[in-house]
Amino acid sequence: MIYYLKQDFHLFKETGAFYDEFENAVYTFTAENVFYPIIHLWNKDVEIGTIKSKRSLLKSEFDLYVEGHHIDTLKQVFSWFKLKLELETIGWKIDNEEKARNYRILDRYGRVLASVLEGSFHLQMQFSVEIYDEASEELLLLVILGILLIRKSQQAAAAAAA
């Protein structure tokens, strides 16, 4: 399944949706970014899951919850030149493809579960998301939102250092 992720930014809140090829919003999300980022993912009026920041001084970590149950922690893995993340408990790895803003989510056997391609359309950042493992679709969408949170925290840290 292919989705297009579009985001809208507000002062202390961010909203967005994953759209299908017919431009129907299938999943929506809200992000509260005041001090500790929290993202809620919705399918219609039903909350599917949540991503909560797990504060660490040295690296970004985010806990993933589905239906209130902790599933795993999205952690950054040391790498010199590209963003590498992992979900240790379920054995997934997130790796950059050769272009810095494209990602693949791999299972513990190296099979590609989803890919994310970033682009700029109409002066707005948008993402194309292709889900290959539809049984894990909702968890994969949560992970993708977690990747965007980690990127955003890295950009904020770089801007603060400059």
Residues of the chain with pLDDT > 70, as a percent, come to 81
CA distance 123 to 135: 34
Q: Which two tokens stand for residue 80?
A: 């010199």
What's the confidence (pLDDT) of residue 12?
Answer: 73
Per the DSSP assignment, residues forming a β-bridge with 32 are: 13, 38
pLDDT > 90? residue 133: yes
pLDDT in tens, 44-80: 889 999 999 876 666 678 999 999 999 999 998 877 7
Q: Kindly indicate the confidence band of residue 126, based on its pLDDT and cuts at 50, 70 and 90.
A: confident
CA distance 124 to 39: 20
Q: Which two tokens stand for residue 57?
A: 């001084």
Domain boundaries, the chain: 2-75+112-161
pLDDT in tens, 79-103: 776 778 899 999 999 988 655 578 8
pTM above 0.85, yes or no: yes
Q: Kindly indicate the confidence band of residue 125, based on its pLDDT and cuts at 50, 70 and 90.
A: low
**What is the full DSSP assignment across the chain?**
-EEEEEEEE-SSEEEEEEE-TT--EEEEEEEE-SSS-EEEEEETTEEEEEEEEE--SSS-EEEEEETTEEEEEEEEE--SSS-EEEETTTTEEEEE-SSTT-EEEE-TTS-EEEEEEEEEETTEEEEEEEES-GGGHHHHHHHHHHHHHHHHHHHHHHHHH-
